[in-house]
């Protein structure tokens, strides 16, 4: 059977990490995660990597493959150049715990701080609401997010400028958008988006959209509309008052 | 070894952060302090993978639906081995539990008049599954997670429980380690809820993730709880077959619910050939009627592709055995054919089944809107598990509760699709409520330090043997092959007896697996620890499967291919005997009240 070499970054929080080469036998249809499992089985049982579903549904297996942020379980070997070693590294934006596993707990803390969903009173006596499919469509797009944090990983504001304290990243701007555009939600998160969450840091490079394995149009459908709402409210207050008063 | 453990205290400790665990935690957090322990990160539990939907008789699409029909469907699907009281509570409470999710932010697909849309699924008489495209599990887990993080619950992510802590008869906490640093922890609690899911990793071809190593069943067993119905494993008829690395990954039943058909290599739609007697009156006998059904004609009967999973899986196996299978040992599942019926079919398919579309496109290079998929049976769901009280979800061990896939009873011999997600929220809530009550009434117990030290020592054994000893992955691999080949979808006495013997040998090997390196995030070590649980549940499955000398639901015996009335009146129970050996007995099914009998009669 043909072989391929995987150059995997190994190390923990204390060490810098170094690349180690592992050769494994490959077969038709394999994905990078299969190769990692083979390495664990044959060469390095202690190689740390996260995974759960192996079907692109849980967002656990994020890594950088030949420098690209991707899900290991959805990256087919047949799409890679196997004549040279395949480089596998952990996400760079988050501190490494060990090998391919990073500490993504910051993301969970960020989410907790965002104001939670607050629905309007129920429409019907049995506690239910009526919503049209076309009104839920756009929020459903955002709710496809599997929280793989690849968009967070690639965004230069976090990756290069380490603005973790001031900027919540594309995933959570989009989470704000999902709440703001939720047909039932009554709360308001624009002030926080502007003042605390660093919406202004995003300069619409669209790198986040490019890496999203769920193909969510993060920038066009979530970030830009949030930016527009902030502009309308805070930089065009008359327009905002007008629309509030007239309900348009 | 006098070791110091980190100690945490809660009124209720929930083990597992899937749908059942989160729902239990939310309920308990309304009245007391709650901790949730889980092996993965929050939001990654198995529940996230569920696709098709959750069953609740809201009647939004067909108002003839009611809890009674749902109850009768569930009992028929389970071949009447279900705990009828659980099936009753489930059918009655599921609609409220689903609606409540909307209050917490879930956004289901809508009907034309703006209500929650419901879809057809196998064994459900009316369109009953609330869903979001084919990512319903994601919607469920995210909704519970995002609501849960605001309820004051403490989450311990990437922590694995290795034993339950007892004070006399009673469970008073759990003991485990964190994956990141490999340090041991003690969680003291008034009550513990197990919500750890299933056992699919005991098999080679499975739709289940690494987490499904039967931990909860094994923890409960070791603590003295009874396991029930362990012979009933659901092999889902449609797993991916090709390429090899994706074998077993689930293809949602939703494909068939949207009109997908099963065909053999001669192009024949073979499901019409064998329709079981008790489903004849409710199954279409012409293709044209089947199509009308999936497109919403209330007077049409369902196509045979939507018969129960056990039956469909066996029909597929029959075709393959008879040489009518697809190139890689499955059959064809075709949704692309609907282009004959629907304008814009490709777009329609992508909208209704987006993640299936991507899954095949990205993993198999197949465009399901233009070509058929290759599918075959895959190990999917554990009907059996920890026996619980139907109302409170408490096990026979005081202070220990169980809910979700780890618990037994609701599904009997075969689970209907969509009845798991609703199970999680109905019985998750009940477990949380009763665990909180129990914890408040009984307070904390005392902890036996010696037992903790022993549990720690046992867990650390693999490091003593070192990297040159038996490889844990190898043992796991051999176990999966053994169970797949000998206690799989079609069973015979001889093979199972063989498996029983082999399991003993594997146990010896597992006791000597070794691991090099240190404790920090070491998957080899984690696998070594999980092995004990996998072996224990495999032993229980095999023991019960040998004992049930008939075919029923998920349990099919080639040597006893018919259903046998003599086996209709009891559930099999295993537990740890006095001398530490596994013992088994038959537990008579409690008599069903006349009202429920009548409900079943009316909905025959
Ligand atoms: C691909 C797929 C599709 C499915 N589709 C559907 C569907 O459409 N409809 C439906 O009704 N059902 C479906 N099912 C079944 C359903 O998803 C599962 O049965 C259900 O999600 C199980 O939920 P749970 O809460 O019991 O456990 P899980 O969601 O599996 O959660 C288990 C939790 O326990 C934790 N855990 C386990 N062991 C330990 C331990 N030792 N220490 C600490 N924590 C531990 C895990 O980390 C995890 O958090 C599907 C299943 C699969 C695999
Ligand atoms: S578009 Fe904005 S959020 Fe996305 S990567 Fe670029 S800067 Fe970051
Ligand atoms: S938005 Fe896309 S890339 Fe970002 S976390 Fe969600 S799924 Fe991942
Ligand atoms: S393992 Fe779930 S997304 Fe890769």
Residues 154-193 of B with CB under 8 A from A: 157, 180
Ligand 2 site, residue A200, Cβ cutoff 6 A: no
Residue A244 binned pLDDT confidence (cut-offs 50, 70, 90):
low
Digit-coded pLDDT (tens) for A172-226: 999 999 999 999 999 999 999 999 999 999 999 999 999 999 999 999 999 999 9
CA distance B54 to B18: 14
Q: What is the mean pLDDT of residues B291-317?
A: 92
In contact, B170 and B398? CB cutoff 8 Å = yes
Closest CA to A72 of A89, A47, A84: A89
Q: Which atom of ligand 4 is nearest to the CA of B209?
A: 1
Share of chain B above pLDDT 90, in %: 90
Which of B59, B96, B107, B251 should one mutate to test binding to chain A, selecting the residue with the greatest count of A CBs within 10 A? B107
Global model pTM greater than 0.90: yes
CB-hemisphere CA count at 13 Å for B7? 12
CB B502 within 8 A of CB B161: no
Quick one: pLDDT at residue B223? 98
Measured CA to CA in angstroms, residue B126 lies from A103, B134, B180, B553 at distances of: 46, 19, 47, 21
Query: Mean pLDDT score of chain B, rounded to an integer?
Result: 95
Residue A17 confidence class, pLDDT cut points 50, 70, 90: confident
* Residue B2 reports pLDDT greater than 60: no
Atom of ligand 3 nearest to the CA of A152: 4
- Looking at B300-442, list the stretches that DSSP marks H as alpha helix, in order from N- to C-terminal side: 309-321, 345-352, 354-364, 419-442
Q: Tell me the CA end-to-end span of chain A in Å, nearest whole number.
A: 65
Q: Which of B125, B405, B32, B381 is nearest to B239 (CA)?
A: B381
Mean pLDDT of chain A: 94
Closest Cα to residue B373, out of B190, B249, B554, B206? Answer: B249
Query: Is B322 a residue whose pLDDT tops 70?
Result: yes
Kindly tell me if the per-residue pLDDT of A34 is higher than 60: yes
Mean pLDDT of B317-346: 94
Q: Which residues pair with B116 in a beta bridge?
A: B110
The closest CB to that of B107, out of A46, A54, A140, belongs to: A140
Cα(B374) to centroid of ligand 4, in Å?
22
Cα dihedral B373, B379, B385, B389, rounded to 10, equals 10
Q: Tokens for B485? A: 């080949």
B244 to A28: CB separation less than 8 angstroms, yes or no? yes
pLDDT at B310 (0 to 100): 87
Other residues' Cβ atoms within 10 Å of the Cβ of residue B80: 18
Ligand 2 pocket residue status of A206, Cβ below 6 Å = yes
Q: What is the pLDDT of residue B516?
A: 86
The mean pLDDT of B42-64, rounded to a whole number, is 96
Q: How many residues does chain B have?
A: 604
Number of C-beta neighbours around residue B68 at 10 A: 19
**Contact residues, chain A, for B473 at CB < 8 Å:** 40-41, 45
pLDDT band at A240 (very low <50, low <70, confident <90, very high): low
Per-residue pLDDT tens for B197-243? 999 999 999 988 888 999 999 999 999 999 999 999 999 999 999 88
Q: What is the pLDDT of residue A247?
A: 59
- Across the interface, do B42 and A108 touch by the CB < 8 Å criterion? yes
What average pLDDT does the segment A61-79 reach?
96
Measure B543 CA to ligand 2 centroid, in angstroms: 57
Q: Is the pLDDT reported for residue B1 higher than 50? A: no
Burial zone of B21 (CB within 10 Å; 0-12 exposed, 13-18 middle, 19+ buried): buried
Contact residues, B window 41-70, toward A, CB-based 8 Å cutoff: 41-46, 48-49
Q: Work out the end-to-end distance of chain B between its first and last CA atoms, rounded to an integer number of angstroms.
A: 63
Query: Which is catalytic among the residues B10, B119, B188, B236?
Result: B236
Ligand number with the minimum distance to the CA of B248: 1
Tokens read off for B594: 């006349």
Q: Name the token pair of A81.
A: 């150049």
B362 → closest Cβ in A34, A74, A104: A74
Question: B327 touching A, CB under 8 A?
Answer: no
The residue annotated as part of the active site, out of B76, B131, B135, B256, is B256
CA nearest B440: which of B11, B8, B10? B11
How much is the average pLDDT of A239-247?
A: 67
Q: What band does B4 get if pLDDT is binned at 50, 70 and 90?
A: confident
Give the mutation candidate from B142, B204, B478, B520 for the A interface (greatest A CB count, under 10 A): B520
Closest alpha carbon within chain B to A109: B149
Residues with CB under 6 A from ligand 4: A 51-54, 56-61, 71, 73
> Nearest to residue B534, comparing CAs of B222, B213, B198, B162?
B213
**Per-residue pLDDT, A36:** 97
Q: A31 CA distance to ligand 3 centroid (A)?
A: 20
DSSP 8-state secondary structure symbol assigned to residue B353: S
**pLDDT at residue A239, as a whole number:** 67
Is the CB of A46 less than 8 angstroms away from the CB of B523? yes
Torsion (CA) B226, B232, B236, B242 in degrees, nearest 10? 90
Rounded to an integer, the average pLDDT of B489-506 is 97
Confidence at B298, pLDDT banded by 50, 70, 90:
confident
Please report the pLDDT score of residue B287 as a whole number: 94
Instruction: Quote the ligand 1 centre to B137 CA distance (angstroms).
Output: 9
* Known catalytic residue at B236: yes
pLDDT at B397: 98
For ligand 2, the distance from its centroid to the CA atom of residue A156, given in whole angstroms, is 7
Give residue-wise pLDDT tens across range A131-176. Answer: 999 999 999 999 999 999 999 999 999 999 999 999 999 999 999 9
Decide whether any atom of ligand 3 lies within 6 Å of the A31 Cβ: no
- Mean pLDDT in residue range B79-91: 98
Rg of chain A over all Cα atoms, to the nearest angstrom: 21
Is there a contact between A76 and B102 if contact means CB atoms under 8 Å apart? no
Closest CA to A182 of B18, B154, B559, B103: B103
Q: What is the mean pLDDT of residues B74-102?
A: 97
With contact defined as beta carbons under 8 Å apart, do B7 and B185 qualify?
yes
Q: Hey, is B590 helix, strand or coil?
A: coil
pLDDT of amino acid B136 = 96
Please determine, for residue A20, whether its predicted confidence score (pLDDT) is greater than 70.
Answer: yes
Question: Do the Cβ atoms of B186 and B7 come closer than 8 Å?
Answer: yes
- Given a cut of 60, is residue B152 above it in pLDDT? yes
Helices (H), strands (E): how many in chain A? Answer: 10, 7
Q: Supply the pLDDT for residue B573.
A: 98
């Amino acid at each position: 059977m043909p072989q391929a070499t995987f150059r995997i970054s190994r190390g923990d929080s204390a060490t810098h990490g170094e690349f180690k080469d592992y050769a494994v036998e490959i077969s038709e249809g394999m994905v990078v995660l299969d190769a990692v499992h083979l390495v664990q089985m044959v060469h390095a049982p202690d190689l740390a990597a996260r995974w759960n579903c192996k079907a692109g549904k849980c967002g656990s297996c994020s890594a950088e493959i030949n420098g690209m942020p991707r899900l290991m379980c959805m990256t087919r070997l047949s799409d890679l150049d196997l004549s040279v070693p395949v480089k596998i590294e952990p996400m760079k934006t988050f501190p490494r715990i060990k090998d391919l596993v990073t500490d993504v707990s910051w993301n969970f803390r960020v989410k907790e701080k965002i104001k939670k969903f607050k629905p309007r009173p129920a429409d019907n006596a049995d506690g239910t609401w009526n919503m049209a499919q076309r009104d839920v469509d756009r929020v459903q797009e955002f709710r496809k997010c599997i929280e793989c944090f690849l968009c967070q990983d690639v965004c230069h504001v976090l990756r290069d400028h380490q603005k973790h304290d001031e900027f919540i990243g594309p995933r959570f701007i989009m989470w704000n958008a999902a709440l703001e555009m939720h047909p039932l939600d009554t709360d308001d998160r624009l002030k926080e988006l502007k003042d605390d969450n660093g919406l202004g840091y995003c300069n619409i490079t669209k790198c986040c959209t490019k890496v999203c394995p769920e193909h969510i149009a993060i920038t066009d459908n979530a970030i830009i509309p949030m930016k527009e709402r902030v502009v309308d409210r805070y930089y065009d207050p008359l327009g905002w008052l007008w629309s509030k008063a007239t309900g348009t | 070894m006098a070791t110091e453990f980190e100690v945490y205290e809660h009124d209720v400790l929930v083990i597992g952060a899937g749908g059942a665990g989160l729902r239990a935690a939310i309920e308990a957090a309304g009245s007391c302090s709650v901790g949730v322990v889980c092996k993965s990160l929050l939001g990654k539990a198995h529940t996230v993978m569920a696709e098709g939907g959750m069953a609740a008789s809201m009647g939004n699409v067909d108002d003839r639906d009611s809890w009674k029909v749902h109850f009768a469907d569930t009992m028929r699907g389970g071949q009447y081995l279900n705990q009828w009281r659980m099936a009753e509570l489930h059918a009655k409470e599921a609609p409220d539990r689903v609606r409540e999710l909307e209050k917490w932010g879930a956004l289901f697909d809508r009907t034309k008049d703006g209500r929650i849309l419901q879809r057809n699924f196998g064994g459900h008489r009316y369109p009953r599954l609330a869903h979001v495209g084919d990512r319903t599990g994601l919607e469920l887990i995210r909704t519970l997670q995002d609501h849960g993080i605001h309820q004051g619950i403490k989450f311990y992510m990437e922590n694995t429980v290795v034993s339950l802590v007892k004070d006399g008869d009673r469970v008073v906490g759990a003991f485990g380690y964190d994956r990141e640093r490999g340090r041991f922890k003690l969680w003291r609690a008034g009550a513990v809820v197990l919500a750890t899911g299933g056992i699919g990793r005991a098999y080679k071809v499975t739709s289940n993730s690494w987490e499904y190593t039967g931990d909860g069943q094994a923890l409960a067993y070791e603590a003295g709880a009874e396991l029930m119905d362990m012979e009933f494993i659901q092999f889902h008829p449609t797993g991916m077959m090709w390429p090899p690395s994706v074998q077993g990954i689930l293809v949602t039943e939703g494909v068939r619910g949207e009109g997908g058909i099963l065909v053999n290599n001669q192009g024949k739609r073979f499901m019409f050939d064998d329709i079981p007697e008790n489903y004849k009156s409710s199954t279409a006998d012409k293709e044209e009627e089947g199509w009308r059904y999936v497109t919403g004609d209330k007077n049409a009967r369902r196509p045979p592709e939507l018969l129960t999973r056990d039956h469909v899986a066996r029909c597929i196996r029959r075709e393959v055995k008879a040489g009518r299978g697809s190139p890689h040992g499955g059959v064809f599942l075709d949704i692309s054919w609907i282009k004959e019926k629907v304008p814009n079919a490709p777009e329609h398919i992508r909208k209704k089944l987006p993640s299936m579309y991507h899954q095949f496109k990205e993993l198999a290079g197949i465009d399901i809107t233009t070509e058929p998929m290759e599918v075959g049976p895959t190990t999917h769901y554990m009907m059996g598990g920890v026996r619980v009280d139907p109302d409170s979800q408490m096990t026979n061990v005081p202070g220990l509760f169980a809910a979700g896939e780890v618990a037994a009873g609701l599904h009997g011999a075969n689970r209907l699709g969509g009845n798991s997600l609703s199970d999680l929220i109905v019985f998750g809530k009940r477990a949380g409520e009763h665990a909180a009550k129990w914890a408040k009434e009984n307070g904390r117990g005392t902890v036996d330090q010696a037992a903790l030290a022993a549990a720690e020592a046992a867990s650390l054994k693999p490091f003593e043997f070192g990297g040159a000893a038996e490889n844990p992955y190898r043992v796991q691999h051999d176990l999966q092959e053994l169970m797949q080949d000998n206690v799989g979808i079609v069973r015979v006495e001889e093979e199972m007896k063989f498996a029983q013997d082999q399991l003993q040998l594997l146990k010896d090997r597992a006791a000597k697996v070794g691991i090099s390196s240190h404790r920090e995030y070491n998957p080899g070590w984690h696998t070594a620890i999980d092995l004990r649980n996998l072996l224990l549940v495999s032993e229980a499955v095999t023991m019960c499967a040998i004992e049930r000398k008939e075919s029923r639901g998920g349990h099919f015996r080639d040597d006893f291919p018919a259903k046998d009335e003599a086996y209709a009146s009891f559930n099999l129970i295993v537990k740890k005997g006095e001398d530490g050996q596994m013992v088994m007995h038959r537990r008579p099914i409690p008599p069903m009240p006349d009202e429920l009998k009548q409900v079943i009669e009316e909905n025959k």
